Amino acid sequence: MPKREPFHGRIGRTWRESEPWRPPHAAAPEGAPNVLFIVLDDVGYSDLGCYGSEIETPRMDALAHGGLRYSNFHVTAMCSPTRASLLTGRNAHAVGMGSIAEWSTGFPGYQGRITPHAATVAQMLSQAGYGTYAVGKWHLANMADYVTGGSREHWPLGKGFNRWYGFLGGFIDHWNPDLHEDNHPVQRAPRQRYHLTEDLVDHAIEFVRDHVTSTSARPWLTYLALGAGHWPLHVPQEWIARVRGRYDAGWDLVREQRLQRQKAMGLVPEDTLLAPANPNVRAWASLAPQERALCARLQETYAAFLSHADAQIGRLVDYLDEAGQLENTAIVLLSDNGASGEGGPTGAVNIRRHMTMGPETVEYGLARLQQIGSEHSFPHYPMGWAQASNTPLKWFKKNTHGGGIRAPLVVHWPARVQCKGEIRHQYHHVSDVVPTLLEAIGMQPPTVHQGFEQMPLHGTSMLYSFEQADAATRKEIQHFEMVGDRAIWHRGWKAVARHRKGDDFDADRWELYHLDKDFAEIHDLAESQPGKVAELVALWWQEAERHGVLPLDDREVERSLAWSRRDVQRHFRLQPGMARLDRQLVPPINDRSWHLSAPLHDVGPQAQGILLACGSRFAGYQLHCAGGKVVFTYAVHESLAHRLEAKLPRGSAVVEVAFVRSGDRTGQFELRVDGVPCAAATVERTWNVFGMSGGLTCGFGNVPVTDECLPPAPLAGLRLQHVLVEVAADSSGDTDDFAAALREQ
């Protein structure tokens, strides 16, 4: 027999002779604070004004001047693991998030979802009477959980949040985003002057407003995870105009100036030196004038992007102040990892094309200089600016040297933090945030949650540092790993190994730094102290085994592709008006033959609208009707699209598009109406599905693919029954048979 919830009243024959009983409501401890997490994306250690930057971030700086800054705070080298650690108070591999969610492998440390044995802070605080709200980037669900009809156990509402508005994956188009609300995709209506950061802050204000106006006695937790400053760098042009010319002097000078400010602030020791330039970061003076012009504009766009985000954070803080919520709100502001070197030596107007189809030329970028930052760009800065962002540190995001894992941390809590504007130098890690909050609130983490025995918290509370500026660091040890890069910190010493993909892990060279005396990891002591290296490496292996880091794996997007080939369906029957398919779960047409057919009925002279749209103008395809024609567009990137059209007969018709692969990422499209070939085009370079920034819709559009027919473009003057999409099993498997079958249809 299933257990029934106990009833502690008395039940008689009627209500008059009975005593009611209601389970007690969860109540937060007296004086428990509100909690606001603000997570920036790919923002380097020195990018905020309060960390030495020339970028204008007055509202975040004001939080630092009214609270505390931490100079020695560390995260993981990529976003999903940092977020998992932040929300659980445990190490990322131990909770199943050893890399970004898309790169799951099925091993315990790489599930791409948080284990139920590690309750999130939202789950913990909701049991104590908190209202819990998430806004923005999630990136903590396995791709198998993305399907519209799938489980929501690992989405925000399944992890303890009452509401969520945001996006699932690792990056987002800020002009034309694919969004979710609670547990369902949002069909976005186009708006003038829309920007995602503004939209996210609007929703954060809305969630807090609705909470305090309905349950003012209960505290709240809001997790605001912005897309800024992860590529694409999208920001209104007027913000870029404000900083025009600021970066003409180049990244070498900016690094020097930032370090001098950091020393003046007391963030870094006076004897700190700049780490040597990372490989492929050229001296600014060696760049040709046209290269400098492009690189400067890309950094102007990043600076404007971050300043724009700062202004939106300011709107939220102003609202909290006006609503009487600011005084007892613990604001924790951080970045998820170091700045990204993915832009290469000179950056890109379209970073996804740059990364998956081949490097852009400087000439290409200069010809599109005025588009950078707009919805017609998908830009990213050069790696020279990434190193400037990480001043004074070496390496980038994905690396376990300082440039990948040392991050800004600001704590603002007027009711509790009295030493305002001060800097704390104790060594701490993102897993330490939840233990700090629980200690401050006066709560213990649960030992069992929803029937699952809970692993202990791995973090060390930082609460002691709030009032004790000179207190010794209480943390003892912290390990790191990201796609083969490894590091361990123990009592002031750090051993770190940079791994090159494909190499033998045992052949990696471990470096040794005494971080207490070498902030920027410049003086490698490995040769002079081999015993210390051996001690720390042995300690790393112990921690790795203990926390689920093994097996080591240096694959990156290959993990996603392997999952796609194995688990994503290849036969789709799509219906008009259906919920948007996430970009990770669209038909897997990567370098394969494929075919779509759309039976149309009641076709009139004014037939129009989008039959099927997938991706965006940066990589996507669309089938639409307009002007008595059916048009198929395959957008290779923002400046190259193949367009096929055919006359559309009245009444009924079957429209087909077939792609027959002819070689490595090449092939031919054919558009047919009622079985008759009408147009064809040869594509010399197809794109990868994982390069797309938009999902799939049927019967309407969500993200622009071609300006010829913009979303939402609902169907009118015809009736669409369905769209069938079939994809060959593999580019090297049954492709020839599949192509032959298509030719016979």
pLDDT value at 613 more than 70: yes
Cβ atoms of 152 and 183 within 8 Å: the answer is: yes
- Dist CA 318 CA 324 (whole Å): 10
How far, CA to CA in Å, does 645 sit from each of 577, 648, 678, 686, 715?
Answer: 24, 9, 7, 20, 18
pLDDT value at 400 more than 80: yes
Please tell me the number of Cα atoms within 13 Å of 55 on its side-chain side.
32
- Dist CA 277 CA 383 (whole Å): 10
Question: Where residue 563 falls among pLDDT bands split at 50, 70, 90?
Answer: low
- Stretch 488-500: mean pLDDT: 97
Cβ atoms of 491 and 476 within 8 Å: the answer is: yes
pLDDT value at 739 more than 90: no
* Residue owning tokens 């009925």: 601
The closest alpha carbon to 582, from 182, 198, 184, 196, belongs to 184
User: What pLDDT shows up at residue 81?
Assistant: 98
Question: Where residue 743 falls among pLDDT bands split at 50, 70, 90?
Answer: very low
User: What pLDDT shows up at residue 735?
Assistant: 41
- Stretch 126-150: mean pLDDT: 93
Q: How many CB atoms lie within 10 A of CB 10?
A: 10
Pairing of strands 477-482, 571-574: unpaired
Instruction: State which fold the 568-744 domain adopts.
Output: Jelly Rolls (2.60.120)
User: What pLDDT shows up at residue 570?
Assistant: 86
- Dist CA 313 CA 308 (whole Å): 9
Enumerate the H helices of 571-620 as residue ranges: none
Which comes out higher in pLDDT, residue 297 or 588? 297
* Residue owning tokens 């018709």: 653
- Stretch 219-225: mean pLDDT: 98
| Tens-digit pLDDT profile for residues 651-707 | 999 999 999 999 998 999 999 999 999 999 999 999 877 667 889 999 999 999 999
- Stretch 218-238: mean pLDDT: 97
Name the percent of the chain lying above pLDDT 70: 97
Question: Where residue 36 falls among pLDDT bands split at 50, 70, 90?
Answer: very high
How far, CA to CA in Å, does 512 sit from each of 428, 531, 539?
Answer: 19, 11, 14
User: What pLDDT shows up at residue 306?
Assistant: 98
The closest alpha carbon to 375, from 201, 617, 148, 199, belongs to 617
Which pairs with CB-CB distance under 8 Å and at least 24 residues apart come from 191-197?
A: 193/236, 195/234, 195/235, 195/236, 195/308, 196/172, 196/227, 196/234, 197/226, 197/227, 197/228, 197/308, 197/309, 197/312
Q: Is 260 exposed, middle or buried (0-12, 13-18, 19+ CB in 10 A)?
A: exposed
Which pairs with CB-CB distance under 8 Å and at least 24 residues apart come from 671-674?
A: 671/630, 671/632, 671/644, 671/645, 671/646, 672/646, 673/630, 673/646, 673/647, 673/648, 673/649, 674/649
- Dist CA 615 CA 688 (whole Å): 11
Query: Which tokens hold the place of 163?
Result: 């509401």
| Tens-digit pLDDT profile for residues 344-387 | 999 999 998 888 888 899 999 999 999 999 999 999 999 999 99
Kindly report the pTM of this predicted structure.
Answer: 0.95
Domain 34-473, CATH homologous superfamily name and number: Alkaline Phosphatase, subunit A (3.40.720.10)
Please tell me the number of Cα atoms within 13 Å of 446 on its side-chain side.
21
Backbone dihedral region of 577: left (phi > 0), alpha (psi from -120 to 50 degrees) or beta? left
Backbone angles phi, psi at 555, to 5 degrees: -75, 155
- Active-site residues, by number, are 79, 139
Question: Where residue 3 falls among pLDDT bands split at 50, 70, 90?
Answer: low
Cβ atoms of 42 and 233 within 8 Å: the answer is: no
Is the sign of the CA dihedral 193, 198, 204, 205 positive or negative?
A: negative
- Stretch 39-64: mean pLDDT: 98
Cβ atoms of 222 and 35 within 8 Å: the answer is: yes
- Stretch 407-433: mean pLDDT: 97
User: What pLDDT shows up at residue 352?
Assistant: 84
- Dist CA 589 CA 667 (whole Å): 12
List, in order, residues 6 or more apart from 568 with CB less than 8 Å away.
585, 588
The amino acid sitting at 230 is: H
- Dist CA 455 CA 634 (whole Å): 49
* Residue owning tokens 């071609």: 706
Instruction: State which fold the 478-546 domain adopts.
Output: Arylsulfatase, C-terminal domain (3.30.1120)
pLDDT value at 309 more than 70: yes
196: part of which helix (H) or strand (E)? helix 196-214
Q: Hey, is 263 helix, strand or coil?
A: helix
- Dist CA 140 CA 127 (whole Å): 21
Question: Where residue 251 falls among pLDDT bands split at 50, 70, 90?
Answer: very high
Rg (CA), the chain: 27
| Tens-digit pLDDT profile for residues 703-738 | 999 999 999 999 999 999 999 999 998 665 444 444
- Stretch 465-479: mean pLDDT: 96
**Domain residues of the chain, as ranges?**
34-473, 478-546, 568-744
User: What pLDDT shows up at residue 9?
Assistant: 95
- Stretch 95-120: mean pLDDT: 95
User: What pLDDT shows up at residue 604?
Assistant: 95
Pairing of strands 163-167, 452-453: unpaired
User: What pLDDT shows up at residue 733?
Assistant: 41
Residues 425, 426, 429, CA angle at the centre, nearest 5°? Answer: 115
| Tens-digit pLDDT profile for residues 52-77 | 999 999 999 999 999 999 999 999 99
* Residue owning tokens 């997570």: 39
Q: What is the DSSP letter of 503?
A: S
Backbone angles phi, psi at 562, to 5 degrees: -65, -40
- Dist CA 197 CA 204 (whole Å): 11
For 156-194, give the secondary structure using H, E and C.
HHHHCCCEEEEECCCCCCCCCCCCEECCEECCCCCCCCC
pLDDT value at 564 more than 70: no
Q: How many CB atoms lie within 10 A of CB 108?
A: 16
pLDDT value at 419 more than 60: yes
User: What pLDDT shows up at residue 691?
Assistant: 66
Backbone angles phi, psi at 451, to 5 degrees: 85, -5
Which comes out higher in pLDDT, residue 56 or 30? 56
| Tens-digit pLDDT profile for residues 162-195 | 999 999 999 999 999 999 999 999 988 888 899 9
| Tens-digit pLDDT profile for residues 325-347 | 999 999 999 999 999 999 999 99
Average pLDDT, the chain: 94
Between 475-484, 587-596, 707-716, the lowest mean confidence (pLDDT) is in 587-596
Residues 138, 140, 146, CA angle at the centre, nearest 5°? Answer: 85
Cβ atoms of 100 and 170 within 8 Å: the answer is: yes
